[in-house]
Amino acid sequence: MDIDENIELTSKQILILFFIETEFANNQYKLIKHLDRSEFFPADLYTNLQPLFEHRFIEVSGHLNNGTPFQYAITERGTKYLDANLRSNDLMQFANGYSNKDFMVQIISVLLERRSQK
């Protein structure tokens, strides 16, 4: 299950994959809430989740009552992609690029710290 090194995700897609891995924002409501309120607006979930599904980095882990996919989980392949491609400096630089950055920078810092302690 090697990860193709040519797979390129945007900074927002890597952030979303990271949030799903940490379970900080692993469903549509949380993703939209945190991304839109942190000036990562618009969240564009369909556009940003599509490559994560296509590369099998995430899978649906929960549905709404009407059967609509709602909650996501990272796959082993997604974890390997993050292990190889998650650059904390790049993630922080991306978050710092927004004027209302304080909350997101704090959250990313805490989640990166937790991830490094695994």
**What's the predicted TM-score (pTM) here?**
0.85
Taking the C-alpha atoms of residue 93 and residue 4, their distance in angstroms, rounded to an integer, is 25
Please answer whether residues 94 and 56 qualify as being in contact, where contact means their C-beta atoms are separated by less than 8 angstroms: no
pLDDT digit of tens for each residue in the chain (118 aa)? 566 667 989 988 999 999 999 998 899 889 888 777 665 656 678 889 999 999 999 999 999 999 999 999 999 999 999 999 998 888 888 888 776 677 788 888 899 998 988 7
Residue (of 85, 15, 74) closest to 43 by Cα position: 15
Strand partners, 69: 63
